[in-house]
Amino acid sequence: MNAAPAETTTARTAPPDNGLSFVQEIGNLLHASAGNPISTCMQCGTCSATCPVASGGFMDHSPRRIIALIRAGFKDQVLAANTYWYCASCYQCTVRCPRGIDIAELMYALKRYTIWKTKYQKGLIGPVFSETFVKTILRSGRSYEPVLATAYIFTYGLPDMLQEAYTATTLMLKGRIPLLPTKIKRLDNFKRMIRHIIPLGDSE
Amino acid sequence: MKTYAYFPGCSLEKMAHSYHLSAMETARALGVELQELDDWNCCGATAYFHVDELLAYTLSARNLAMAEKEKLNLVAPCSGCYKNMFFARAHLKQDPDLAEHINVALAEDNLQFSGNATVQHLMEVFVHDVGLEAVKARITRPLNGLRVAPYYGCQILRPRKDHEDVEQPRFFENLVGALGAVPVEYPLKLRCCGGALIITNREAALSLVRNLLDSAVKARATVIATACPLCQVNLECYQKQVNKEFGTEYHVPVMYFTQLMGLALGIPPSRLGIGSELVAVMPAIMSAQQKEPAVAGP
């Protein structure tokens, strides 16, 4: 955890010839956030200490360090980090940040940025899961757990898959797993509504 | 009788059906009508915000607009749905341009968002609108001696909605106390259960669940009470995996607060969906009440 960035890559705080520096890009991603800009961060580390995932040692860079890397222009290291994809959106960092930065929102922004650029750490389940989830809802208006679980099952090995199947079977016997996906009634209207927001091309 | 537009959310359709059943029964017993929002859609969960923010707001806006049409305020039993719809409303009210953009899309379903319908968590309705004194007055079977760990989790509290206390909240303890049960004090009551990491980072999520179970069990809780379907699933359905992973032997029932309320209100367990859990609830409750009849708080 928190390994020093590789020496071969350099930080870029100055903007490239045409366009924005990385820190400006991230600043733009947060333009609508109610929190303060990350330039106000004083690197106190409250976010990292309060984050249950970072303090458990599961993130390669802590939230504090991610902010430092962004401000120093280490774009490659930030895009390669698992930090934001391992954020569970518990918002403890956000409510405790003494500078009033909405750190959980920064994590969301970084997730969207890496999905948009299709540049995220290899092997992460998060991006696949999120995209599967969104597609499910665009198709039916509601979520359907069995489809979501497949994102997990195909990524892990056989023992984990069997364990998962065992839990799923037990839950099914208790009537807690839906056999068929549910759809909302006005699905056509719903799909037309979505098309105003994102062009879906041909539906389906 | 006060009526609310009730937004069950996807989890309550099946995985957390017992939360739905117990919410309806408990509300009825307390004189609250939960009128299910017709044709509601998914709130967007966390996944939508990972992909596209505008789309996530649009999904919530459709539900909000439908509640407005019914002239009712919205209530959600799931902390995630509650947080999403609460902040979608706040955000759209603050940003009329965004609201206008989304309203063009909503027109496809003959809907319009204006922000008139408020958003509450179901627990808030019981604690605040109904009031704990009124709850107490209807209790026929107090849960004397039952040690309950009130588990807040995250999104019912965070991000901060207004000026409420997000560090030392007491409303869940007060509710548990009003049922005659003993609210257990334990340090991790506000800690995250791992949420969707149970799918996307199993190792981290199991470790968070282990910490929570450990904290509640060390405080001698007989049951853990939750206000969110994802917390319930993580804490209950993955106990076996936690035990396998960490060599522990946890066997703690994890109930919805509405099930505890329902029992105290004298509603039969089967009508509260009790029986569909993986860690049986009733034996623990019966034996706890026999062992420690009507003791005072810790």
Instruction: Mutation target for B interface from A130, A152, A169: give the one with most B CBs within 10 A.
Output: A130
Give the pLDDT of residue A52: 97
Q: Is residue A12 part of a domain?
A: no
For position A44, which CATH number holds?
1.10.1060.10
Q: At what angle do helices B239-246 and A158-173 cross, to 10 degrees?
A: 150
Helix (H) or strand (E) holding B183: strand B182-183
A1 close to B (CB below 8 A): no
A103–chain B nearest CA distance, Å: 11
CA neighbor of B155 nearest in space, from B230, B212, B64:
B230
Show the domain range for A166. 126-197
Q: Are residue A98 and residue A138 in the same domain, yes or no? A: no
Low-confidence ranges of chain A (pLDDT < 50): 1, 5-8, 203-204
Q: In this structure, what are the phi and psi dihedrals at residue B33, rounded to the nearest 5 degrees?
A: -100, 120
Position A8 scores a pLDDT of 46
Nearest residue on chain A to B159, alpha-carbon basis: A91
Q: What is the distance between the alpha carbons of residues B242 and B248, in angstroms, rounded to a whole number?
A: 7
Question: What's the ipTM?
Answer: 0.93
B2-121 CATH choice from 1.20.1050.140, 2.40.128.110, 2.30.38.10, 3.90.850.10: 1.20.1050.140
A129 CB contacts (<8 Å, ≥6 apart)? A148, A151, A152, B47, B196, B199, B200
Q: Is A161 exposed, middle or buried (0-12, 13-18, 19+ CB in 10 A)?
A: middle
Alpha helices in chain B (DSSP H): 10-13, 17-29, 47-51, 53-69, 79-94, 96-106, 122-124, 132-137, 171-178, 197-200, 202-218, 229-232, 239-246, 257-264, 282-291
Rounded CA-CA distance B296/B283 in Å is 22
CATH topology identical between B2-121 and B141-291: no
Tens of pLDDT along B60-73? 999 999 999 999 99
Of A153-167, B102-116, B218-232, B251-265, where does mean pLDDT reach its minimum?
A: A153-167
For chain B, domain boundaries: 2-121, 141-291
Do A137 and B48 count as a contact with CB atoms less than 8 A apart? yes
Q: Which of B41, B49, B105 sits opposite A142 (nearest CB)?
A: B41
- Residue A133, pLDDT score: 85
- Out of B158, B202, B238, whose CB is closest to A91? B158
What architecture is the B141-291 domain classified under in CATH?
Answer: 3-Layer(aba) Sandwich (3.40)
Q: Say if residues A138 and B74 touch (Cβ distance below 8 Å).
A: no
pLDDT at B106 over 80: yes
Provide the residue type at B224 as one letter. I
Whether residues A66 and A149 fall in one domain: no
- Distance from C-alpha of A28 to C-alpha of A26, rounded to nearest angstrom: 5
CB contact under 8 A, A129 and B15: no
Q: Are B202 and A194 within 8 A, CB to CB?
A: no
**Residue B265: CB partners within 8 Å, gap ≥ 6?**
B26, B29, B30, B138, B139, B140, B141
Domain end point (choices A88, A116, A144): A116
Give the best residue of A133, A150, A183, A194 to mutate against chain B (max B CB count within 10 A): A133
The last residue of one of the domains, among A61, A90, A116, is A116
pLDDT in tens, B269-287: 999 999 999 999 999 899 8
Q: Are residues A162 and A91 in the same domain?
A: no
**Residue A6 belongs to a domain:** no
Element (H, E) at A166: helix A158-173
B63-89 b/e (C-beta count within 10 Å ≥ 16 → b): bbbbbbbeebbbbbbbbbbbbbbbbbb
My answer on whether A106 and A130 are in the same domain is no
Asked if residue B264 lies in contact with residue B28, where contact means CB atoms within 8 angstroms, the answer is no
Terminal C-alpha separation, chain A: 42
Judge if A111 and A79 occupy the same domain: yes
**Would you say residue B136 has pLDDT above 70?**
yes
d(CA B59, CA B64): 9
Q: Which residue of A has its CA nearest to B203?
A: A58
A165 with A95, same domain? no
Regarding whether A111 and A136 lie in a shared domain, the answer is no
Q: What is the mean pLDDT of chain B?
A: 94
Cβ-in-10-Å burial (0-12, 13-18, 19+) of B99 comes to buried
A148 touches chain B (CB under 8 A): yes
Angle between helices A145-153 and A126-140 (to 10 degrees): 160
Average pLDDT over residues B199-214: 96
Mean pLDDT of B244-263: 97
Q: How far apart are CA B148 and CA B182, in angstroms?
A: 6
Of A88, A108, A143, the CB nearest to B10: A143
Give CA–CA dist A91/B10, Å, rounded.
22
Q: Is residue A67 part of a domain?
A: yes
Both A57 and A110 in one domain: the answer is: yes
Residues A26 and A79 in one domain: yes
Decide: helix, strand or coil at residue A94.
helix
pLDDT at residue A200, as a whole number: 63
Contact B183, B221 (CB under 8 A): no
Cα–Cα separations (whole angstroms), residue A155 to A46, A140, B189: 33, 25, 32
3-class DSSP state for residue B228? Answer: coil
Residues A30 and A85 in one domain: yes
Q: DSSP states of B108-167 as a string?
A: GGT----S-S-EEEHHHIIIIIIIHHHHHHT-SS--TT-EEEE---STTT-S--SS--SS
Q: Both A111 and A41 in a single domain?
A: yes
The Cα of A15 is separated from the nearest Cα of chain B by a number of Å equal to 26
Q: What is the pTM of this model?
A: 0.92
Which of A70, A87, A116 terminates a domain? The answer is A116
Euclidean distance between CA atoms B190 and B226, whole angstroms: 11
Please report the pLDDT score of residue B298 as a whole number.
43
Contact A193 B211 (CB under 8 A): no
pLDDT digits 0-9 by tens, A159-193: 676 777 778 788 878 888 877 778 999 999 999 99
The number of domains in chain A is 2
Instruction: List pLDDT tens digits, range B167-195.
Output: 999 999 999 999 999 999 999 999 999 99
CA B17, chain centre distance (Å)? 12
Give the pair of three-digit tokens for residue A24. 């400006």
Shortest CA gap B293–chain A (Å): 32
Q: What is the pLDDT of residue B296?
A: 44
In chain A, the residue whose alpha carbon lies closest to the alpha carbon of B277 is A174
A152/B52 Cβ within 8 A: no
